[in-house]
Structure 1
Amino acid sequence: MTQAELYQALKSIGYPVAYGSFSSPVTPPFITYQFSYSSDMIADNQNYVEISNFQVELYTDKKDLAAEQKVQDKLKELGLPYRKFETFLDTENLYQILYEIQILGG
């Protein structure tokens, strides 16, 4: 899977999606995603397999289990295991549900 394919898959959930951040305000729920770091498999002093770690972030103005389930279902459909974290952003008055995923070879 490529980063472009990840973007298209996230868009298919039906919420606004942007890499990093939006250029203008968006009404929740919305999704952002961005590259975090690489965990490439290295052999013989070469990057043998590219492993890109991404953060997919769902923002909602209330605890929204249905929105979370939509994101999780999409990640499962794509065969992307994830780790899930939640926090409430006081300054934004939003819930942030963060999913850490890995893309191989993308």
Structure 2
Amino acid sequence: MSFIEDSLITRINLILKDEKETMTRLRLIVQLILGFGERNPGLTRILTGHALMFEQDRLQGRINQLFERIEVQLRQVMRERKMREGEAFQADEALLASQLLAFCEGLLSRYVSF
């Protein structure tokens, strides 16, 4: 689980450091999550909970925390858009971040189903 957290969060932080344009940041974060899922099917089974059916609640809690951290970062990127680019999203950033993460989680679940 630490490898998953370190891989995703470290790379997300690099994206945030290197990229300034909001839509590019969001695209790269989504591509990172989905690419990680494609390249690491076993770890994706952990992320989606498929490999955790009989595991401790603590491990599922860590996965939930990871997704919450990613959602917070997505929300922050969206909120910074107004300061950086002078325009805001028409919808609530929290809702958009939640939907974007749900999209990623759904595709990760599809990866392990095939």
Do they fold alike, i.e. is TM over 0.5? Answer: no
TM-score using structure 1 length:
0.30
Instruction: Return the structure number with greater relative CO, CA threshold 8 A, min gap 6.
Output: 2
- Hey, which of these two has a bigger chunk of strand by percent? 1
- Hey, which of these two has a bigger chunk of helix by percent? 2
